[in-house]
Structure 1
Amino acid sequence: MERRIFLQKSIVVGAGLAISPSLLSFPKDPQNLEKITILHTNDTHSNIETFPATHAKYPNQGGVARRYALLKEIRKQEKNVLLFDAGDIFQGTPYFNKFHGELEMKLMTHMGYDCATMGNHDFDAGLDGFINAYQYGKFPFVCSNYNFDNTILKDVTKEYQIFNKGPFKVGVFGLGVGLNGLVAKAHFQDTEWLKPIPIANRIAKHLRFEEKCDLVICLSHLGYKPKQFLDNDQLLASETENIDLIIGGHTHTFLPKPEIHFNRLGEKVLINQVGWAGLAMGRIDFFLGEKKRNKRHDLVMV
């Protein structure tokens, strides 16, 4: 299938919701390969409704209803689909002020999100506020470099999560930005922030070699590039091993397509981020050959 056909089809299905494209080319014979579709959002910031027609920049764009319609269509077409979010689910519209995250959790559950990580604004109602909202969330949060042992979030989030979809075994973990200076101390209390790169290397190695994951995905709320934050997705890609895909957030960066970076062994790592407010949803398709699933080079990324 040609890339331009894929893009046209996705945009039409979206009916006003943009979808971030996959990479440059498809395998020559994808019919003989197993495929998994990774869908993702970031920094939706409590944007529930479509932007009004009078909006200066995003008229009639976005909205949960359109995202849900697009998700249903993709799930009809594809048998192996996972949906992730890279944080900052809360804060930004009166819906959060009124419902304190409850509505966002209910809607994400209804849309069938598989996993998410916490952004700095997901602390805005405090740890008790997150707990209150999360009772309506039926999907795991992975927060690998936040140590919640001395807080009420102990054992509420996970270090990583593994998903089995068809022949694929997918390991997912999450990294959050430092909270000092971004979040009031009263809201994160005794949460301990740990340096993300050592954590990422330890968990990615475990997922690749101990858990035998075919894909290792990081949900990152660190930010996109060095000029924005000291810890960032580009540095994460270059200073780690065993990560296939970094789904980014925090900086509201819209990448027209996933970027190819290289890890410290010279292997390819993808980075993608799709802006903010639910205006776009990322899609990346991976194809798996017939060799052993835990071998990185058996995956053809498109």
Structure 2
Amino acid sequence: MERRIFLQKSLVVGTGLAISPSLLSYPKEPEHLDKITILHTNDTHSNIETFPSTHAKYPNQGGVARRYAMLKEIRKQEKNVLLLDAGDIFQGTPYFNKFHGELEMKLMTHMGYDCATMGNHDFDAGLEGFLNAYQHADFPFVCSNYNFNNTILKDLTKEYQIFNKGPFKIGVFGVGVGLEGLVAKAHYQDTEWLKPIPIANRIAKHLRFEEECDLVICLSHLGYEPKQFKDNDQTLASETQNIDLIIGGHTHTFLPKPEVHLNKLGEKVLINQVGWAGLALGRIDFYLGEKKKHQRHDLILV
């Protein structure tokens, strides 16, 4: 791999309707560098509508319509955009109780999601319910450490997905939390959970060296630092290699900016997670080039 990767980071938070184009793009771009814009969500939990004005903590915030408007504006300004989700799409509002995940899949397809992984609540309608909802999704699910071979989801999900965006080749894979004791057995049936760190090391190595990906991204529903689980995003970062970015979920952690951690070789890996309920849209810009490293952190209010 001859090209070096540089990054520019920001966080987009939905708190209103008006979008300022100047805030959603960077006015001064690094010269002679190609850019990929990674947008991401996690733990949206069937939150379709904007929070009401009377809400004690999030009045007039969130909502699919605002996220969609934000996405359209960013896509107008950026050539290479990848939209990802780190799981727990289901459960949390009457929309899930009524439509059992179908509405969420339809809306994510309409918003142009490229890829997602499964969280523990995405099993809440059972495997049959997920299968029925997935028929309305036009994007893949990557579930590297869930073995569905003895279930009706066999061959439905993938270990990883590769995307070509402009000059970039991006490999995306997903790891999920253990289901025993967290999800009713009847909902996941004979799904086998595999330890995520050995799986992550194997797939990241394959994506980096066999597939020659410029970026390797892990969609993690392990949690940022859950006390009840040994495996989490921070241990995932420190005990693996060849991963550039971990997009997290499960613990509803709101990180004001992506964190820089060191992997097992002492190389930098980013971790980001943007809360829950679709209140925030994460944005991280990576550049391909050979000279300088460009960074910028923005909190963009919408």
TM-score (norm 2): 0.89
**Percent of paired sites with the same residue:** 84
Deviation at 1:15, TM superposition (A): 3.2
Q: Which residue of 1 aligns with 2:300?
A: none
**Matched residues in 1 for 2:228 and 2:275: separation?**
15
Q: Which residue of 2 aligns with 1:33?
A: 33
1:256-275 matched pairs, under 5 angstroms: 256-275=256-275
**Matched residues in 1 for 2:227 and 2:234: separation?**
11
* Structure 1 runs, 4 residues or longer, greater than 4 Å off: 10-14, 298-302
**Contact 1:14/1:67 (CA < 8 Å) preserved in 2?**
no
One-letter code aligned to 1:283: R
Residue 98 in structure 1 maps to residue 95 in structure 2 = no
**Matched residues in 2 for 1:212 and 1:175: separation?**
21
Q: Which residue of 2 aligns with 1:224?
A: 224
1:82-231 matched pairs, under 5 angstroms: 82-225=82-225, 227=227, 229-231=229-231
Q: Which residue of 2 aligns with 1:60?
A: 60
Equivalent residue in structure 2 for 1:15, among 2, 14, 17: 17
**Matched residues in 1 for 2:235 and 2:14: separation?**
35
Residue 233 in structure 1 maps to residue 241 in structure 2 = no
Deviation at 1:149, TM superposition (A): 0.4
1:33-52 matched pairs, under 5 angstroms: 33-52=33-52
One-letter code aligned to 1:212: E
Distance of aligned partners of 1:300 and 1:207 in 2 relative to their CA distance in 1, 3 Å threshold: farther
**Matched residues in 1 for 2:189 and 2:239: separation?**
30
Deviation at 1:32, TM superposition (A): 1.2
Deviation at 1:230, TM superposition (A): 1.3
**Contact 1:288/1:299 (CA < 8 Å) preserved in 2?**
no
**Contact 1:222/1:232 (CA < 8 Å) preserved in 2?**
yes
Q: Residue 133 of structure 1 aligns to a residue in which SS?
A: helix
Deviation at 1:31, TM superposition (A): 2.7
Deviation at 1:229, TM superposition (A): 2.6
**Contact 1:224/1:232 (CA < 8 Å) preserved in 2?**
yes
One-letter code aligned to 1:280: A
Could you give the per-residue CA deviations for residues 154-193 of structure 1, whole angstroms, max 9, x where no partner exists?
Answer: 0000000000000000000000000001100000000000
**Contact 1:224/1:253 (CA < 8 Å) preserved in 2?**
yes
Q: Which residue of 2 aligns with 1:276?
A: 276
**Matched residues in 1 for 2:14 and 2:136: separation?**
32
Q: Which residue of 2 aligns with 1:249?
A: 249
Q: Residue 31 of structure 2 aligns to a residue in which SS?
A: helix
Q: Residue 278 of structure 1 aligns to a residue in which SS?
A: coil
**Matched residues in 1 for 2:216 and 2:81: separation?**
15
**Matched residues in 1 for 2:67 and 2:175: separation?**
25
CA RMSD of the aligned region, Å? Answer: 2.4
Q: Residue 105 of structure 2 aligns to a residue in which SS?
A: helix
Unaligned runs of 5+ in 2: 1-7, 297-302
**Contact 2:205/2:242 (CA < 8 Å) preserved in 1?**
yes
Q: Which residue of 2 aligns with 1:295?
A: none
Could you give the per-residue CA deviations for residues 92-147 of structure 1, whole angstroms, max 9, x where no partner exists?
Answer: 00000000000000000000000000000000000000000000000000000000
Distance of aligned partners of 1:273 and 1:228 in 2 relative to their CA distance in 1, 3 Å threshold: farther
**Matched residues in 2 for 1:14 and 1:259: separation?**
26
Distance of aligned partners of 1:200 and 1:12 in 2 relative to their CA distance in 1, 3 Å threshold: closer
Q: Residue 96 of structure 2 aligns to a residue in which SS?
A: helix
**Contact 1:16/1:60 (CA < 8 Å) preserved in 2?**
no
**Contact 1:286/1:301 (CA < 8 Å) preserved in 2?**
no
Q: Residue 208 of structure 2 aligns to a residue in which SS?
A: helix
Distance of aligned partners of 1:290 and 1:87 in 2 relative to their CA distance in 1, 3 Å threshold: same
Q: Which residue of 1 aligns with 2:288?
A: 288
Could you give the per-residue CA deviations for residues 16-68 of structure 1, whole angstroms, max 9, x where no partner exists?
Answer: 79xxx99xxx9x96131000000000000000000000000000000000000
One-letter code aligned to 2:17: A
TM-score (norm 1): 0.89
Q: Residue 103 of structure 1 aligns to a residue in which SS?
A: helix
**Contact 2:14/2:281 (CA < 8 Å) preserved in 1?**
no
Q: Which residue of 2 aligns with 1:294?
A: none
Distance of aligned partners of 1:222 and 1:78 in 2 relative to their CA distance in 1, 3 Å threshold: same
